[in-house]
Amino acid sequence: MKDNRKIIGLAGWLGVGLIFVGLTFLISYGSSFFFQRSVLLEAAAVDVAPPPAAPKADGRPELRVIIASRYSPSAGAVYYNDLLKYLGERLERRITLLTRSSYAEAMKLIEEGGADIGFICSGSYVLLREKVPVEVIAAPEMYGRAEYRSYIIVPADSSAASLEDLRGKSFAFTDPLSFSGAFYPSQRALQLGDSPEKFWSKVLYTHSADKSISAVAYGLVDGAAVDGLIWDNLSAANPDIIARTKVIERSPWFGIPPIVAGPGQDPALVAGIRKVFLGMRDDPQGAVILDGMRIDRFNVPPADWYDGLASVVSLLRDKGLKITF
């Protein structure tokens, strides 16, 4: 009987021990998980005010605008707020701002006629024009160029000096349809002899360049590919975040993300929108908005401006990557 009590007692202590170990693991793992989650939430909210409320319906005709380029939805709404307000005033239209969580959802919205115009990624534009007749209204010129580059970034204290040094490491893409944040790094992995799935040990999608930058800055991943214009803009707007990162590779120059009109839009409306964008630098109010966005001016790019990106997409498809939406 005493032996039985000893066995029961020992089992009880083992049970208590297992519960303690389990709780310790849960607390440790859980705190780590919630810390990482809070960092990513903070990354999405760096220097970002709440997005503006949707305008109430009035007698003005509606212009539905989808923002699906580069910034997280909250940051994008703030970044484009003054520009969209200005556009609505000049066109005498009520602007309805639309956002989606992925580029694919945004492209579907434009394809199906759910948005009139869109601020979209260059890579997404190349895919969208394969499916429906979309028209480039205008494209920004920033830092003296209507082009941009993908930056490969790592933590500031990382020993990595090239993309090859990130083989077998964790890496952040922005969106599956992002040129700077997915197509370009995939092309580079192939050039180095591996598919993206094999080159990195883990790939995660943040769905915006600003979140990818913060994921690198806070050490959640070993590297990331981001829109160089976003990194450059944040170097002035949020230098503390940028100081935690460094660029180890820059891609060649490619056509900058455009503003497009969806299929079937009234040509007169498209011409009117284009006129507003092209005239902003010569208007004092418009110039102030452009300066705040670090945009020199808007231009209409040549018809072949995005053919270089289309060539990269074709190469990736030839290597077996499925690129569509």
Question: Side-chain half-sphere of 319: how many Cα atoms within 13 Å?
Answer: 19
- Domains, the chain, in order of start with CATH, read 62-146+256-318 (3.40.190.10), 150-251 (3.40.190.10)
Instruction: Give the mean pLDDT of the chain.
Output: 84
Close Cβ partners of 234 (under 8 Å, ≥ 6 residues apart)? 46, 210, 213, 241, 242
pLDDT over 90, % of the chain:
74
Model confidence at 242: pLDDT above 80? yes
pLDDT digits 0-9 by tens, 102-117: 899 999 999 999 999 9
How many angstroms separate the CA atoms of 257 and 138, rounded? Answer: 10
Which token pair is 26? 């849960």
Which alpha helices (DSSP H) does 92-199 contain, by range? Answer: 103-111, 122-131, 184-191, 196-199
Largest separation between any pair of C-alpha atoms in the chain: 97
Closest CA to 75 of 41, 118, 38: 41
Model confidence at 19: pLDDT above 90? no
How many angstroms separate the CA atoms of 194 and 173, rounded? Answer: 16
Starting at the earlier edge strand, list the strands of the sheet with 223-227. Answer: 202-205, 170-173, 223-227, 150-155, 245-250
| Single pTM value for the model | 0.79
Residue pair 226/209 in contact (Cβ under 8 Å)? The answer is: yes
Model confidence at 191: pLDDT above 60? yes
pLDDT digits 0-9 by tens, 141-167: 999 999 999 999 999 999 999 999 999
